[in-house]
A and B are shown apart, each in its own frame.
Chain A
């Protein structure tokens, strides 16, 4: 196995990774939103894993969810209903969207997971909100300690911060490989690397990253030159759609995704109180769509446009994802103002209607090529 396929393998084997960890007698805790302060989970000797869906049909979840609901959360719930998440000792979410809030209730009701926790993330980042989120983090820490009987000391928190920051540094290095043309790695691989960091302890991921970064030429099909595209949207737990986009002559060189750059872009600035530093980092990071500071998200995205020499933007929204669908209009305007051609797609997690998506992307690429 070469080092570039290591990450994909990790994603394919995520359940085994979790089971293995569990066999060491330590808990596995699933999280669903990039505002859950993972370092705290890590510091409690647990394995934090992001809840992903899968590519199978969602027949089980369809019995409980209306058609007009987010297909990503549907797929996640379906995985759980199939018994795939039996290894979870806990499920943690945050109030980042209506869908997630309600689906939290469904997981509670329909699965056997022993512990559930809900973190309230404020929509603003300053003043009382900052204090409140810090207190939420303190309460979360207390919950973990009480539930799993493992004290979370400042030393442990500092170790967690170090492992996470190191990971973030490496991930930014990975992203930087795409600044040149053609990029040194594909968008598919870059996002797979980020995703795989969410299913394994960070120190192990760091090791894989060191290996990968030490020999970036080690890959079967290095990317060819293509249209330099930025992808903007919410979560993406697999890279099928990115692959379609790249196969149609694009290089996905940057993103504004909850599970992409917005997951790791900022480090924890560790000062005296590690928990406070963690809370600040999460609330202060490049904001997601449910945060009120839309301008800051636009700014983050535009900085990416610049840094990665982006030529076109594709907004991909999961259907029924209200926050992002509202933002799509503003983002379209912002991209256009920056001189970028924009395509807005709504899609289902299952990639139903793929043919039509493909046709639209193809037409977009041709259109841009014709203009450029």
Chain B
């Protein structure tokens, strides 16, 4: 097996946890100590408005992923299961519910206690039910942004004006609730600024993704799954823009020099959904077989152009059109574009044991990619943070067979 030379990974993403994630949690704890309002936020909630309201966002999903990467998630899940939460529920939710119990040994000392909770219905059922539990346990208010689900009509259109109108009305009432609770008022110019920064961040991230189209690709999934942190957790920050500018520049240079992550890039893959946070080494395993992930849907969930002169409307469009909130055609179109533009040879479709949104419908994606592009996909059964749901040997064997098959079809072409 070829050993991947770590030096081939981009320099700016190395030590990511130590340089960026850990300080993020420290800062959030400090903010809480200083009396600043902290919100627990579920992904796909328009965090831009929280920035504008000077509320510090922290992300239970990110926290669960972090616990998984530190191999602390299963123990926390088990605590939630003892309280009656089914083993089949999302492991993010179980992990965080388990972390609500007092424990001296939580990663990052746990999440800072929230003043409020916000979630939208754009991603999954779990967010709302999970936050309801947290709200009851911690006795803090939970504000739900209720968003309509988009289905494609006969004309292939999904988003209608009335969807945007409803979303905006819901968002306004959530903002109003937060204002009332905190005794603040949303400043228009701040909102515009937050939206502008987020737009900038998203464009940079888009450029980064575009550089990955190069052959050989300059960056794989492992680094993308770290670096996406800024997109998710603080898109309206100068820090995000600084970091992505550095990363963009590095990738640009790599591409100019044809310096790839792999010395011998044989198979280019697209990855759907989440990684196995407890085993990011799986990507290194792929690398060792001369395969590399060149695009993943997860990196695109939070991307979207924003218009500062119409902040709320453009937030509505961005979040409503995220593929998790749309019928499967949306994801299929996205995946097809990735495969084409990134010149991928195959697609990995990981399901997620506790997540219906990510598991149901993958057969349709597989079928469509085969039909439209004649590119094969592999569905694997995994979970984001509960390794009891992961058969490492089996998954690796199937990946290896899949890659062998890809190589064969490539050479016979």
Contact = CB atoms under 8 A, between A and B. Distances in A.
Interface of A: 63-70, 95, 97-99, 101-106, 108-109, 118, 120, 122-124, 127-129, 132, 135, 289-290, 292, 294, 317, 319-320, 322-323, 325-330, 332, 344, 346
Contacts of B387: none
Interface in B110-167: 121, 124-126, 128-130, 132-133, 136, 144, 146, 148-149, 151, 162, 166
24 contacts: A68-B353, A99-B356, A106-B364, A123-B121, A124-B146, A128-B166, A128-B169, A128-B170, A128-B173, A129-B146, A132-B148, A132-B166, A292-B132, A292-B144, A322-B124, A322-B125, A322-B356, A326-B93, A326-B133, A329-B83, A329-B85, A330-B132, A332-B84, A344-B84
Contacts of B362: 66
B381 interface: yes
Contacts, number: 125
A105 B327 contact: yes
B274 interface: no
A346 to B, nearest CB: 6
Contacts of B170: 128
Given A292-B128, A326-B85, A329-B133, A320 B149 contact: no
Nearest to A65: B360
Given A95-B148, A95-B149, A68 B86 contact: no
Given A68-B359, A98-B357, A329-B133, 11 more contacts: A66-B362, A68-B354, A98-B356, A105-B327, A127-B173, A320-B88, A322-B129, A326-B129, A329-B84, A329-B85, A346-B86
B363 interface: yes
A118 B149 contact: yes
B328 interface: yes
Interface in B165-213: 166, 169-170, 173
Nearest to A143: B153
Interface string B24-40: 00000000000000000
Interface string B57-92: 000000000000000000000000001111011100
Interface in B340-379: 351, 353-354, 356-357, 359-364, 379
A102 B361 contact: yes
Nearest to B363: A64
9 A-B pairs with least C-beta separation: A326-B129, A102-B360, A98-B356, A120-B148, A95-B149, A105-B328, A118-B151, A329-B84, A325-B86
Contacts of A294: 132
A98 B328 CA distance: 12
B144 A325 contact: no
Contacts of A292: 128, 132, 144, 146
B328 A66 contact: no
A104 B151 contact: yes
Nearest to B357: A98
Contacts of A65: 360, 363
B167 to A, nearest CB: 10
Given A120-B148, A124-B146, A67 B88 contact: no
Contact of A63 (B89, B93, B149, B363): B363
Contacts of A290: 125, 128
A121 to B, nearest CB: 9
A105 B361 contact: yes
Contacts of A123: 121, 128, 144, 146
A328 B356 contact: no
Given A325-B88, A326-B130, A329-B133, A68 B151 contact: no
Contacts of A322: 89-90, 124-126, 129, 356
Q: Which of A101, A120, A290 has the most CB atoms of chain B within a 10 A radius of its CB?
A: A101
Contacts of A124: 144, 146
Nearest to B367: A109
Contact of B328 (A95, A102, A328, A329): A102
A108 B247 CA distance: 42
Nearest to B327: A105
Contacts of B169: 128
